[in-house]
Chain A
């Protein structure tokens, strides 16, 4: 059974590596013509072109003038719509499976997990953590408003994602490098710190957790209250006391489900709120 779980978890890893590599190639091809010649499909695209958040911050200008904010393209707009469709279906699955910066933080987190074992991702007291998680909403509002007012990408000077994929260029503001360094160090102690506390796009997508079609459910009838789902959650969400996860920080990584952490079959699962089955059993 363990082999089956590992194989399935590998699927998320493979998809994450695939999209990370794709974005890396896109940014490299933007800087080095040799890479662009090798991969003509992505030639000419920039990181801004494949960032769905660019579409979000451009919305106001698009509606009022019919054009995009500087450096934003049609592609960002379409990606925003595509990601929004996936979020309506299954929540911020983009964050948990696709976003290269989330993937990068997870990779750094592997070092932290090795160093701190069970203490990893448990350093910040929940009282403080609760308030810190509001920061990303404040950032979302600030970015959308200031981008609408200035018609420029104000966030790019602070964006650690942009800094990571443009390390080799001279286009990155020093502030973005500093924030990237902070995120890397924080990732050694906290799982996905940027996603939790600062990502404006995650803040927006997370709102779909309230109304998404497929949600994470816990079947109370078969739950043995072992709490393994809570321990497994990278976003520190308490699953063991709820029947349906509607927490705005769930990224649909599925680590809490009966495929991975939950030892009881079909007890924690991703599904619609249909009639629950009664089958029982353990994974171990």
Chain B
């Protein structure tokens, strides 16, 4: 059996168009970001949505939908101004920009994952540098999601919002510390000093380093990369040095 180029071309084009049309008709064609998070697959929480799969693009409304944490509660926990922008419109990754001036840790998507896991009382292991605002711990304690002991432990990894904003503006970047942990003020120079070569860094971030003194967080935000995601990959590379 032979096929001419006319039959081949029109046949393939028609097959693709008809297949997509049928998928659309049956409601299976979804060309917008799927927000359905992964679920716990084992243990007592099997079947529940897993906060570790919360992505930076999730709005607080999405989080409310999938994790039953009210958007207003999240906004209050992270001390966000809801007079101009509704609580449900904020995205998890917005925190990275809003809290970008913190020097002793990070408040970002990972903080949201942590907060949601504590609220829903499901397991989640946050990054070593992830912080929660004190307001978030107060809310969790008030709602009874955490007991007094846990609240005390968490306070060690919290920030007082006002104090953060008051001090961060004037704080300069410190030279690379010995502990090799990527924080909000870590620069490319720090990574290089710690022994990660430029080639490895560039292969992870996907572009050449043009300014070694820029903070990773600022550079990622300019390039549209999510700090918490790329920070983890870089940290893993550092850990195996």
Residues of A within 8 A of B (CB): 8-9, 11-12, 15, 18-19, 42, 44-46, 49-50, 65-68, 70-71, 73-75, 78-79, 82-83, 85-86, 90, 93-94, 97-98, 150-152, 154, 156-158, 170-171, 173-175, 214, 252, 254, 257, 259-260, 266, 269-272, 274
Contact = CB atoms under 8 A, between A and B. Distances in A.
B2 A74 contact: no
Interface string B51-79: 00101010000000000000000000000
A45 B31 contact: yes
Contacts of A75: 23, 29-31
A171 B33 CA distance: 17
Nearest to A46: B31
A133 to B, nearest CB: 23
Contacts of A44: 31-32
Interface in B1-38: 1-6, 8-10, 12-13, 15-16, 19-20, 23, 28-34, 36-38
Contacts of B55: 70
A84 to B, nearest CB: 12
B12 A8 contact: no
B206 interface: yes
Given A11-B9, A270-B2, A150 B224 contact: no
Given A86-B16, A97-B12, A175-B208, A269 B28 contact: no
Interface residues of B, number: 40
A70 B103 CA distance: 28
A259 B4 contact: yes
Contacts of A151: 229
A90 B3 CA distance: 10
A274 B1 contact: yes
A25 B206 CA distance: 27
Contacts, number: 126
Nearest to A93: B12
Interface of B: 1-6, 8-10, 12-13, 15-16, 19-20, 23, 28-34, 36-39, 53, 55, 57, 205-208, 210, 223-224, 229-230, 233
Contacts of A15: 9-10, 12-13
Nearest to B10: A11
B33 A8 contact: no
Contacts of B12: 15, 86, 90, 93-94, 97-98
B30 A73 contact: yes
10 interchain residue pairs of minimum CB distance = A157-B206, A49-B31, A271-B2, A45-B31, A74-B30, A75-B31, A65-B38, A173-B207, A254-B5, A175-B207
Given A74-B34, A252-B8, A174 B16 contact: no
A98 B13 contact: yes
Contact of B8 (A46, A152, A171, A270): A270
Contact of B4 (A8, A71, A157, A173): A8
26 contacts: A8-B6, A12-B5, A15-B13, A18-B13, A42-B31, A45-B32, A49-B32, A50-B31, A65-B38, A65-B53, A66-B39, A67-B34, A68-B34, A73-B32, A75-B29, A78-B29, A82-B19, A83-B16, A90-B8, A173-B206, A174-B207, A254-B5, A259-B5, A271-B2, A271-B3, A274-B1
